[in-house]
Structure 1
Amino acid sequence: MLTTQYVPGAPNWLDLGAPDMDAATAFYGAVFGWTFRSAGPDAGGYGFFQLDGKTVAGAGPLTEEGARPAWTVHFHTPDVDALAKSVEQAGGTVRFGPCDVFTAGRLAGFTDPAGAEFAAWQPGDTPGMELVGATHALCWTELYTTDAAAAKTFYRSVFSWETVDKEMGGEVVYTIASPAGTDPDGDAGHAGIMQMAPENVAGGSTPEWHPYFAVEDCDATVATSTERGAIAIHPPVDAEGVGRLAMLRDPFGAVFAVITPSVG
């Protein structure tokens, strides 16, 4: 369960890199009712997706050479410089930073040993997203990877996460992660780690982190998304005890998921 009471290792920021910010604002506005507020003339086109005046994510034009449209999950850290060293010691790489973002905080981007990109945010004036765990806001994060065992070792080393494995049937194992000192089997879980199916790897899929947004009607949201140019990678399906969920690729290529959580 995500909360804005951010602790080390928990997701505290999320942003979208897109090739066309006007088109991205129009798409996500239609799907989730978000509006876009610029971070100012010196922010290079970066700004904030907001819902009822509260920031649910950041967004900006692609700036890294060779970068592809994607959602990037950021995890809280009290010391991003020390974290960068931990990432390298654990076999990951530093993509950019650490660097200051005005007085908002300190940022760095990383790639884990399997190739999944993520980032870390050391709060300054901006602790993180202002709304999570609500309808049309981030409610879960998930890693698809080619080596789930190695991923668990890496992220436990870097963020001191607690993890628990859940048997999903058909030899599928889903790992739930939570911040250090918490129970991943309870309400503290914030991320899932899942081994990619061989056929997906053969089809060209690569390791990635992606966000889940809570919605009131998964099927209706998927319909609106596809009408606006998204592709349903995984159509709506029921997950017992979890909810009804689907995975989409937005019109620009960024992957995200939506879920109508189970009640009770």
Structure 2
Amino acid sequence: MKLTAPVPGGPCWIELSTLDVPAAKTFYAAVFGWRCATDPREEAGGYTLARLGESRVAALSPLYQPGRPPAWTVSFAADDADAAVARVTAAGGSLLTGPMDIFDQGRFAVVADPAGAVFSLWQGRGFAGADLFNAPGALGWAELLTREREEALAFYAEVFGWSVRASESYPQWGVGGEDFGGLLTMDGTFPPEVPPHWLPYFSSKDVDATAAAARDAGGELLLPPTDIPYGPRVAVVRDPQGAAFGVYRAPDVE
């Protein structure tokens, strides 16, 4: 991902909904060195910010709805969350939560594309989004896994106006001339019970070392460190409570 700051239409934030926030703090601190602090206000509902140094990079929170599986959610920046929701529903997506104001920080909504992949819309006010991208331990790529390739390309172009760098095997999305993510078509190697979803990738200096740290901390390697033809070295991890994420070695990560 070449974006270095939140921009309209681009990924701006990531949140983990999890069964056990304290355990997640421990796991992600071991994997990425995150320093996590939970908002003490009762109305914050256990919302926890993760930082690298002083830079905010992600959030952890209890499950928003009982019965939903632990998962990472990618948020995309919107100048007007309500208008973005209207575009989502007009294009065949669905509204799951909101839109609602979050203190004085911004306005957000949780939506799903026509195939059911969940993502968030964030209209920043006091908080625009992550302070850091692409650095080790920070968001570096956002990947949609779906069985409905053409429908997804049309939907996201209509909602966000993303550019598409066409590829038969792996289209890449961009905003403002900068690529930030891609689309992986789920084939028969994916179990049918795995739903379409967005998968955040965190940058890493050493994918093998990060994957080993995740495994040692109780995670499961869904994809062990692998070199992608004409692409980076990647791994996909399931954390101890079941949320999946990726790590990758971008060429420009120092």
> Per-residue deviation at 1:198?
1.8
- Per-residue CA shift, 1:165-204, capped at 9, x if unaligned? 224xxxxx1010112xx33xxxx001101110123143x2
- Per-residue CA shift, 1:71-100, capped at 9, x if unaligned? 000000000001111111111100100000
Please name the residue that 2:223 is paired with. Answer: 234
Please name the residue that 2:84 is paired with. Answer: 83
In 1, Cα distance between equivalents of 2:36 and 2:206: 23
Please name the residue that 2:179 is paired with. Answer: 189
In 1, Cα distance between equivalents of 2:102 and 2:157: 27
Contact preservation (8 Å) 2:35, 2:51: yes
Please name the residue that 2:137 is paired with. Answer: 136
Please name the residue that 2:162 is paired with. Answer: 161
Q: Does 1:96 align with 2:97?
A: yes
Q: 1:199 to 1:241 in 2, by over 3 A?
A: closer
In 2, Cα distance between equivalents of 1:6 and 1:131: 9
> Per-residue deviation at 1:4?
4.1
- Per-residue CA shift, 1:145-183, capped at 9, x if unaligned? 01111001010111111112224xxxxx1010112xx33
| SS of match in other structure, 1:157 | helix
After the TM superposition, which of the residue ranges 4-13 and 210-219 deviates more from structure 2?
4-13
> Per-residue deviation at 1:66?
2.3
Please name the residue that 1:200 is paired with. Answer: 190
| SS of match in other structure, 1:174 | coil
Name structure 1 gaps, 5 residues minimum.
168-172
| SS of match in other structure, 1:199 | coil
In 2, Cα distance between equivalents of 1:48 and 1:110: 22
Please name the residue that 1:148 is paired with. Answer: 149
- Amino acid in the other structure paired with 1:195: T
Number of residue pairs matched? 252
Contact preservation (8 Å) 1:245, 1:257: yes
TM-score, structure 1 as length reference: 0.92
Contact preservation (8 Å) 1:4, 1:128: no
- Per-residue CA shift, 1:15-70, capped at 9, x if unaligned? 10011011000000000000112233130100201111211101110021322100
Please name the residue that 1:170 is paired with. Answer: none
Please name the residue that 2:211 is paired with. Answer: 222
| SS of match in other structure, 1:121 | strand
Please name the residue that 1:243 is paired with. Answer: 232
| SS of match in other structure, 1:5 | coil
RMSD over equivalenced CA pairs, Å: 1.4
In 2, Cα distance between equivalents of 1:5 and 1:31: 23
Contact preservation (8 Å) 1:4, 1:129: no
In 2, Cα distance between equivalents of 1:120 and 1:263: 28
In 1, Cα distance between equivalents of 2:211 and 2:75: 25
- Amino acid in the other structure paired with 1:45: G
Name structure 2 gaps, 5 residues minimum.
none
- Amino acid in the other structure paired with 1:238: D
- Amino acid in the other structure paired with 1:109: V
Please name the residue that 2:107 is paired with. Answer: 106
| SS of match in other structure, 2:126 | coil
Please name the residue that 1:211 is paired with. Answer: 200
In 1, Cα distance between equivalents of 2:4 and 2:207: 24
Task: Give aligned-pair identity as a percent.
Answer: 39
List aligned pairs for 1:24-35, cutoff 5 A.
24-35=24-35
- Amino acid in the other structure paired with 1:111: A
Contact preservation (8 Å) 2:5, 2:132: no
In 2, Cα distance between equivalents of 1:51 and 1:11: 18
| SS of match in other structure, 2:57 | strand
Contact preservation (8 Å) 1:241, 1:262: no
Contact preservation (8 Å) 1:70, 1:253: yes
- Per-residue CA shift, 1:200-247, capped at 9, x if unaligned? 143x22111011111111111111111111111111111244321111
Q: Does 1:260 align with 2:249?
A: yes
Please name the residue that 1:174 is paired with. Answer: 170
| SS of match in other structure, 2:236 | strand
List aligned pairs for 1:45-56, cutoff 5 A.
45-56=46-57
Q: 1:261 to 1:125 in 2, by over 3 A?
A: same
